[in-house]
Amino acid sequence: MRNRAPKLGFPGAMLALALVFAALAPQARAEETNPCFTGGGTVKEVLDACAAFIASGSTDNERLNTAHRVRAMALSAVGDLDAAIAELDVATKVESNEPNSYFMRAAAYDAKKDFDKAIADLDEAIRLDGKRGDFYMLRGIVYDHKGDLDRALVEFNEKVKLDPESSEGYSKRADLYRQRKEYDPAVADYSEVIKRDLENAKGYIDRGWIYVLKGDLDKAGPDFDTALKLHQNDPSALVGRGVVKSRKGKPTDGSADLSQAQELEPGIFDEIKKLGVE
């Protein structure tokens, strides 16, 4: 089986890139066969097809812009962020009023930890189209990465306002509340995430850890139990269940869960500590 062209891939910004792909996946015409516009083929095939289209002398600026953006996604997939940014520099010149190009370049700058440039691009994207919740969400992510949690919260609030049925805004805002040690609103937001996808173990795990941080073990335990029913042997859920058992006076049972989690994912304890769990 051939490797298909990844749809996204700026390292270090996986959520940001999920947003990018959701917004920017090439919209192929019914008769389209060019890999540059269908998104099919290997990374090299996509890069070559887009390069050929760009070199063809086309005066269709919309298609040229798309070709540069698709090349940027393909280049990001192989880790060449600088080349991806160069493609997006051209895209913003071909169509200076296309907000998606600034949005994509912001994700690349965020991955390079060039947060001020990322924010400047997102400011421009939002100026051009202020109704796109994902633009605010990415700007919130960048402010979070900068350590400006107050401004990040403003952005996530706007994402939730614009896209109230989307779970991503609630999830990111809940994590921000966790960082701010505001556990009650974090629980409320994770409950919204769960309501939108009852079969996704992650929402229960995330809420379970907030309950642990609150010291509410009676509510944490059922969340981890539910997560393990949905996703058997999830390391984070096993650690959570082990912590709950140990703190409720069942250290032997708790140790078994903790040992199993460490065997499945050796670095899991370090990841849990990052949540603020002692």
Q: What is the mean pLDDT of residues 120-138?
A: 98
Question: pLDDT, tens digit, for every residue of 92-117?
Answer: 999 999 999 999 999 999 999 999 99
* Per-residue model confidence (pLDDT) at position 10: 41
* Per-residue model confidence (pLDDT) at position 31: 60
**Whole-angstrom distance, CA of residue 54 vs CA of residue 72:** 13
Question: pLDDT, tens digit, for every residue of 192-206?
Answer: 999 999 999 999 999
Question: pLDDT, tens digit, for every residue of 219-274?
Answer: 999 999 999 999 999 999 999 999 999 999 998 999 999 999 999 999 999 999 99
* Per-residue model confidence (pLDDT) at position 27: 53
* Per-residue model confidence (pLDDT) at position 22: 41
Multiple choice CATH, 130-198, 1.10.10.60, 1.25.40.10, 1.10.286.10, 3.10.20.30 = 1.25.40.10
* Per-residue model confidence (pLDDT) at position 14: 43
CATH 1.25.40.10 range(s) for the chain read 130-198, 208-278
Question: pLDDT, tens digit, for every residue of 18-63?
Answer: 445 444 555 555 567 898 988 788 889 999 999 999 999 999 999 9
Q: Domain 208-278 - what CATH class?
A: mainly alpha
* Per-residue model confidence (pLDDT) at position 167: 97
* Per-residue model confidence (pLDDT) at position 28: 55
Question: pLDDT, tens digit, for every residue of 147-177?
Answer: 999 999 999 999 999 999 999 999 999 999 9
* Per-residue model confidence (pLDDT) at position 238: 98
SS (H, E, C) the chain: CCCCCCCCCCCCCHHHHHHHHHHHCCCCCCCCCCHHHHCCCCHHHHHHHHHHHHHCCCCCHHHHHHHHHHHHHHHHHCCCHHHHHHHHHHHHHHCCCCHHHHHHHHHHHHHCCCHHHHHHHHHHHHHHCCCCHHHHHHHHHHHHHHCCHHHHHHHHHHHHHHCCCCHHHHHHHHHHHHHCCCHHHHHHHHHHHHHHCCCCHHHHHHHHHHHHHHCCHHHHHHHHHHHHHHCCCCHHHHHHHHHHHHHCCCHHHHHHHHHHHHHHCCCHHHHHHCCCCC
Report pTM: 0.87
